[in-house]
Homo-oligomer: A and B are copies of this chain.
Amino acid sequence: MDQLIQEFKNSGSFGAGRLAGACDIYEKMVRDKECTIFLALSGAVVPAGMRTLVTDLIRSRLVDVIVSTGASMVHDAIEALNGHHYKGNVIVDDRELYKYHIFRIYDVFVPEEDYVRLDYAFAEMYREIAAEKKGESLSSNEFAWELGKRLKDPNSILRAAYEEEVPIFMPAVRDSEFGFIHWLHASQENQKNILQVDAFKDVPQLCGICGKSPKNGMIVIGGGVPRNAVQSAAIASKKGLDYAVVITMDRPETGGLSGSTLRETVSWGKVKSEADKGMVIGDALIIFPIIVASVVERLGAKFRRTPYLKRGKLAHGE
């Protein structure tokens, strides 16, 4: 794999050059003993089959912090409860799917029953967490660990993150099935003693991690809220990112954050002007596995990474 990337590096131009550059930057992040690595996840990460890739990165400590949409963790939880994302077809009559209770995500099918199973299992978890926490309000990453603690599947991202004490921030946690489940849970409990998640509590935690780390790097799959949350933490902690890789197909001209250039982030101080940074214009579900494969090959089988921030420290940005 890395041989091809080296050929791309020699040409050095256009997308191939940017891809080779992104591999170099991720390798540098990994080898930099002072760098904390943030992985920002958006889009159909789990349905596209990148679940074990992310779990492996967590377990081998090639990432330190995950910032995710709620949906990706919902997809992870569905698989942890033996649900499946089936290979489907994009040319299909969605009215038929609706009739047969099959949800479509582009060319992937998920049975509605997998969601129903999730709803009831997790509502029960919410009840249990609420009972333990006795009215204390959680942050999104504390919530993620509580979920991971209760999942058994070793391939689960939530489980792996809990075991490895890798924080998973979900800045828009409510915007996913987790939100609906909370409504179900609150109904079941008659609105009493229900799980509390604080909308703002993870802000100082995420910023704290940036702040305590001598250097910070991010890898963005897609964009959206996860990218923004990492960049905002970098500026709020007055650090600015030292490394940045963004993989996206969004474009800059509309002014949306997902497609905005890394050059633009420099004006804000989100990314340092002298940072190693690069953007790959492409489908992250193709590009990111290539980057990881290339970098893992360079690191070699014996390589072990020791994160700068120790486990407890990472937990709550303390």
Q: Does A81 contact B (CB under 8 A)?
A: no
| A105→B257 CA distance, assembly (Å) | 9
Bitwise interface map of A from 284 to 297 toward B, beta carbon under 8 Å scored 1, else 0:
11110110010000
Q: Is A199 an interface residue (CB 8 A)?
A: yes
- C-alpha spacing A152/B136, complex, angstroms: 36
Q: Is A308 an interface residue (CB 8 A)?
A: no
Contacts of A264 in B (CB 8 A): 94, 104-106
A166-184 vs B, CB cutoff 8 Å, 1 = contact: the mask equals 0000011111110110110
**Which of A24-32, A155-163, A212-220, A245-253 lies on the face that meets chain B?**
A245-253
Q: Mark A252-273, 1 if CB is under 8 A from B, else 0.
A: 1111111010011111110001
Min CB gap A283→B, angstroms: 4
Q: Are A48's CB and B105's CB within 8 A?
A: no
Q: How far is the CA of A250 from the CA of B19 in the complex (A)?
A: 20
Starting from the known contacts A180-B236, A290-B290, 16 additional A-B residue pairs (CB-CB under 8 Å) come to A1-B1, A10-B49, A11-B50, A16-B48, A16-B285, A44-B256, A94-B264, A95-B266, A103-B268, A171-B174, A171-B179, A174-B199, A182-B203, A254-B281, A254-B283, A255-B285
